[in-house]
Amino acid sequence: MENINVYSPECSPENISSPPPPPPVKSTKSKKSTDMFLQKCNSIASKATRDSWDRMFDEAHGADVLIHTDDNGLIYAHSNVIGMASDVIRGMMKNDKRKPHRKSISILGVPHDAVRVFIRFLYSSCYEKQDMEDFAIHLLVLSHVYVVPHLKRVCESHFENTLLNKENVIDVFQLALLCDAPRLALLCHRMILNSFEEVSTSEGWRAMKQSHPSLQKELLRSVSYELNSLKQRSRKQKETQTYTQLYDAMEAFVHICRDGCREIGPTKIENPHVSCGFQACNGLEKLLKHMAGCKLRSIPGGCSRCKRMWQLLELHSRICVDSEQCRVPLCGDFKERMKKQSRKDEKRWKLLVKNVLSTKRIGGSPYFLQAIDVTL
């Protein structure tokens, strides 16, 4: 009698033959009408056909195979049906050297009811919803060991849509790796990373720590890598936001000093509540007005708001195309001051200018340098 434990090493993917390829589909001239006719026929006959196959399995009339399960369970089946559904089972029946009137095989390592649901699926491709909820993990293993790909897809779909949770995700992840289910393994891996604090306290995690410590270490490395990636992305987003704000401030500088806006510049807006289209204008006008009347800027230590304005003015001078035509205050003075700065300060400013220009891809502004012209 052929005896296979579905959780044994002999049931690895390397020891299981691949299913035969599906037969080619013949094309017809009236393909559209033929497909509609077949679809209509299938919709009428499908339920009746499935019911007939289920009845054949339940009544076991003419069954010629005995399937032994755990706890001395027995399931009767038809060799032609289950042999056509699974090449592995067909090979097991051929290896029964005693050749009695009834073939005899064993499917061990999973509950008897799970094997019964599995064999029923080989007949009619049907299952009860409750059976899938109770035995999805076992059915995934059986579908892999006995090479029933359509059952594997059904199990994967149920895990993806309803059955996968933080309590069973570790067990399902390990089985997905063993059963060559990459999509399911990826979904499990994502859930583990997104809910690591809860998953790491589950019974499945503790069991994996004892039985597969190397897998646990791999998951911990994945979690650490993901956290570092999140921090890097967050830092990059904040940097990009800062550079974008600086670029907006540079445009607003030119707008205020060249065109005027509200209370500052050559031309003032009659209605100060009307938006000019530059979001940074309001803040810059306040800084310029503060700097004009600040009494602390000449004191050692100075004023933090004035220091910020000096830095913005220097940044503008470094990206300005023509200081002679520019109306922003002190633009030319800062360009002269650049020549006396240390190499360290110069390198730091060039890096800032490069990031600001690259962030907004400035190229159409006639009063700013091209991004490609800024090098370290």
In tens, the pLDDT along 60-85 reads 888 999 999 998 999 999 999 999 99
pLDDT band at 155 (very low <50, low <70, confident <90, very high): very high
Candidate ranges 6-10, 242-246, 255-259; pick with highest mean pLDDT: 242-246
Distance from C-alpha of 367 to C-alpha of 369, rounded to nearest angstrom:
7
Per-residue pLDDT at 270: 56
227 or 202, higher pLDDT: 202
Per-residue pLDDT at 115: 95
Q: Which two tokens stand for residue 46?
A: 């499908």
Distance from C-alpha of 123 to C-alpha of 308, rounded to nearest angstrom:
78
- pLDDT tens digit string along 228-245? 888 888 888 888 888 888
- Residue 110 has a CB neighbour count (10 Å cut-off) of 22
Amino acid type, 39: Q
Spatial contact of 123 and 51, defined as CB atoms under 8 Å apart: no
Query: Of 160, 107, 136, 75, nearest to 1 (Cα)?
Result: 107
The half-sphere exposure of 262 on its side-chain side, counting CA atoms within 13 A, is 17
- Share of the chain residues as helix, strand and coil, in percent rounded to the nearest 5: 65, 5, 30
Lowest model confidence (mean pLDDT) among 80-89, 141-150, 232-241, 284-293: 284-293
Residues contacting residue 208 through CB under 8 Å, at least 6 positions apart: 170, 174, 215, 216
Number of H helices, E strands in the chain: 15, 4
CA distances from 148 to 20, 230, 321 (A): 11, 40, 70
Spatial contact of 135 and 117, defined as CB atoms under 8 Å apart: yes
